[in-house]
Amino acid sequence: MYFLILIHFGWLNIFISASTLVKPIDLTESIQIAKCCDVDEIILDDKCALLTETNETKIWRPDFIDDNFPVNKKQQPNFHFKIGLPHCRSTEHQWHVYYNPRSQYQDLLAILPSGNLRHILHDRWSTSQNQKPGSHSLVDDDSITVESLHFDYAFGHYCADKAVLSENALVTTYAMICVPAVAWTDSNYLIKHVVDPITRAFAIACYLFVAIVYFVLPQLRDLVGNMITSMTMCLAVNQIAVTVRILTEYGSHVSFLIADSVAYISLLSAFFWLNSLGYFVWNTFRSRNIFLRVSDGQKYCYYSMYVWGSTVTIAGTAIFAHFTLETNKVIVEDELHHGQETVGWLGMSVLFTSVAFTIIVNICFTLMTVNTIKQNGTYGRIQHKIKYSFRMFTLLFGILSLGWLSLLVSQLKYDNLIYCHIAVNFIQAFAVVYICVFGQKRVLFLLSKTCNCCISEQNTSDEFDWGEEMTAINAGY
What does the pLDDT look like over 167-181, one tens digit per residue? 777 788 888 888 776
**Residue 386: which H helix or E strand, with range?**
helix 381-410
pLDDT of residue 153: 85
The CA–CA distances, whole Å, from 273 to 93, 306, 372, 392, 397 equal 41, 9, 22, 13, 11
Which DSSP state fits 64? B
Percentage of the chain exceeding pLDDT 70: 69
Q: What is the Cα–Cα distance from 219 to 229, expressed in whole angstroms? A: 13
Stretch 280-302: mean pLDDT: 76
What does the pLDDT look like over 198-226, one tens digit per residue? 999 999 999 999 999 999 888 888 889 99
Does the pLDDT value for residue 367 go beyond 60?
Answer: yes
Does the pLDDT value for residue 354 go beyond 80?
Answer: yes
Stretch 89-108: mean pLDDT: 70
Coil, strand or helix at 161: strand
Q: Please, which pLDDT band fits residue 80 given cuts at 50, 70 and 90? A: confident
Q: What is the Cα–Cα distance from 273 to 137, expressed in whole angstroms? A: 70
pLDDT of residue 447: 83
More confident residue, 359 or 26: 359
More confident residue, 415 or 57: 415
Does the pLDDT value for residue 73 go beyond 80?
Answer: no
HSE of 194, CA atoms in CB hemisphere, 13 A: 9
Length of the chain in terms of residues written: 477
What does the pLDDT look like over 40-53, one tens digit per residue? 888 888 788 888 78
pLDDT of residue 87: 79
pLDDT of residue 45: 80
Cα 332 to its chain centre, rounded Å, is: 12
What long-range pairs does 450-454 form, CB within 8 A, spacing at least 24? 450/216, 450/217
Coil, strand or helix at 355: helix
**Residue 173: which H helix or E strand, with range?**
strand 170-180
More confident residue, 97 or 150: 97
Stretch 424-449: mean pLDDT: 90
Residue 151 pairs in a beta bridge with 119
For residue 391, how many other CB atoms are within 10 A of its CB?
A: 14
Does the pLDDT value for residue 256 go beyond 80?
Answer: no
Does the pLDDT value for residue 142 go beyond 80?
Answer: no
Nearest Cα neighbor of 393 from 244, 277, 255 is 277
Q: Are 110 and 65 in contact (CB under 8 A)?
A: yes
Does the pLDDT value for residue 411 go beyond 60?
Answer: yes
The CA–CA distances, whole Å, from 224 to 274, 279, 299, 331, 468 equal 10, 11, 10, 41, 16
Of the listed ranges 296-305, 376-385, 455-464, the least confidently predicted one is: 455-464
More confident residue, 306 or 415: 306
Stretch 109-133: mean pLDDT: 62
What does pLDDT average to over the chain?
76
Of the listed ranges 129-143, 242-256, 289-303, the least confidently predicted one is: 129-143
Stretch 406-424: mean pLDDT: 92
